[in-house]
Amino acid sequence: MVFDLARHFVAVHGPELDGTNDNKADLIAHIAKQEGVRRETAVMIGDREHDVIAAARNDMRAVGVTWGYGSVAELTAAGAVILCEAPASLARTVTAL
């Protein structure tokens, strides 16, 4: 099944096959540099502690989403600045930051 999601993004990034940027913090740093992302206004949206920790290592705020794989306890312990419980609330949650 094709979802045609790429049209909604400026770019799609991920780790390289040789392992470059396999660490999420390294990947975020690479994306920020490559795309000219201002870290002070960027927001990482993630469902696991790795997302939240990677954001913190890159001086970015993180929204923990509770509809993914991670738990509320995991996201809170990792330092998510705010939690979002439903996709319909995500835009409002990010704007509130």
Q: Is residue 32 part of a domain?
A: yes
Q: Is residue 27 part of a domain?
A: yes
Domain CATH code at residue 30: 3.40.50.1000
The pair phi, psi for residue 77, each rounded to 5°, is -60, -35
Domain around 35: 10-96
Total domains, the chain: 1
Its pTM stands at 0.88
Write out pLDDT tens, residues 8-57: 999 999 999 999 999 999 999 999 999 999 999 999 999 999 999 999 99
Q: Is residue 5 part of a domain?
A: no
Element (H, E) at 61: strand 61-65
CA atoms within 13 A on the CB side of 10: 6
